[in-house]
A = this chain, B = another copy of it.
Amino acid sequence: MVWVHYKMAVLYANARGALVMKSQRMSRIFEALDSFEIELPSWGFADTGTRFGKFFQEASASTTEEKFHDAGLVHQLTGACPTVAVHVRWDFKTGQHPREVVRLAEKYGVGIGSINPNLFQDQCYKLGSFCSPDAAARRAAMTHTLDCVEIGRLVKSKYLTFWLGDGTNYPGQDNIVRRKRDLQRAFRRVAETMPSRMTMLIEYKPFEPAFYHTDIADWGMAYVFCKYASSGMRGRRVKVLVDTGHHYQSVNIEHIVAFLLDEGMIGGFHFNDRKYADDDLTLGSIDPYATFRIFNQIVQHAFDTGKDPKLAYMIDQSHNLKPKIEAMVQSVDLAQRLFVKAHLVDRKALARAQQKGDVVAAERLLQDAYETDVRHVVRDWRASRKLPLDPLGELRSSGVINHLGRQRSAARKARGEVQVASYA
């Protein structure tokens, strides 16, 4: 124990050589890690791909039970993922009582997290869901969504999360304002129907699968839709969901986060990383400093206001090559480290440097925190919480993925499933 403290002290030695890491600070960081929960997407354990095809993995999950199994495994390894986001179309079967799905999740040690309607896959959504020029499509979208609200009520979910594929592909294809108004009305109606414990999250995305315009293209539009949906009723909660991959190149995401935090209008995150478009790579894999700066704004907000913004952290990644469970563990692991680093910023010194306009000193305080190697801090927290010290290493050495691969291949074969996906 003495050794651990000594090691910490050395590790956190700042650039000037002083030993600044106090055990007091360590306990604050441990508390932060205790509070850090990040939801896993059930669809993140299934095979996904690009429009050019999918590369299938033997161990990928096909059934809802397999998805819960995998999520449970990630939670066991990391201690940070108690809930699973579910996709109503894929995870709830007709005729099945939603509570059965809850029990299935519980069997694997996880709970049901956010409820995600699917408003993009059915052929009827070709021209949009709530925004379609076809009233039948709009009605189908509403019916499905109200079913989702009901499922959410039954499974006691706290979040109803909307990502729409709505948009148009060609100039002139549709009347943008007619679409906007139909969408406003739809969100408002859903919000009125939600149980009071539920928060609606509205996601934005500039393009894909629509390529000329997307009906909720940016945070500003999401914000306006949220305001309409929640106006006039006290306590109705409708907030913006930030997916880190859903931005134009070079957008300053942490600025948007800080702005929305101050407005009280951000509800949570879909984390992933990207280099080009919405690449859905694993969290922090391309630009970890950018993810750190997002966490930094959140910690700064708590520091400045004394309030916890109660954000829903969720992973939404959809890579093609990494083994699914490994990729999840890797993302959670890195998220924890970047979250810890955001807690190392000396905020009082930062405020002083900012006030003086000392650009170099202020920046350096962020850089100092970011450059600090916190792998051992997270490790020590894991030791204290009886978690595997190296969850990814543990997973890889366990052989579980190979085991699952064999088992699931056999199961698919037994079910007569063929895995095909082609471009044209």
Contact = CB atoms under 8 A, between A and B. Distances in A.
* Copies of this chain, whole number: 4
Interface string A292-334: 0100110011001000000000000011111100110010001
Nearest to A247: B248
A17 to B, nearest CB: 7
Given A177-B261, A211-B276, A362-B172, A250 B248 contact: yes
B175 A121 contact: no
A138 to B, nearest CB: 13
A423 to B, nearest CB: 6
A354 to B, nearest CB: 5
A424 B46 contact: yes
Contact of A133 (B282, B357, B375): B357
Interface size class of A (residues with CB under 8 A): 35 or more
Given A15-B375, A250-B248, A422-B121, A276 B206 contact: yes
A57 to B, nearest CB: 9
A308 to B, nearest CB: 16
A386 B221 CA distance: 45
A365 interface: yes
B277 A55 contact: no
Interface in A242-285: 248-252, 254-255, 258-259, 261-263, 274-277, 279, 281-282, 285
Interface in A317-356: 318-323, 326-327, 330, 334, 337, 350-351, 354-356
A376 interface: yes
A171 interface: yes
Nearest to A420: B420
B320 A169 contact: yes
Contacts of A330: 360, 364
A117 B217 CA distance: 32
A354 B173 contact: yes
A180 B265 CA distance: 15
A300 B177 CA distance: 10
B11 A206 contact: no
A75 B193 CA distance: 55
A277 to B, nearest CB: 4
A208 B50 contact: yes
A392 B176 CA distance: 26
Q: Which one of A207, A319, A327, A361 has the greatest number of beta carbons of chain B within 10 Å? A: A207
13 contacts: A15-B390, A17-B389, A48-B51, A51-B51, A52-B120, A55-B123, A169-B279, A172-B296, A174-B354, A177-B261, A180-B259, A207-B250, A212-B281
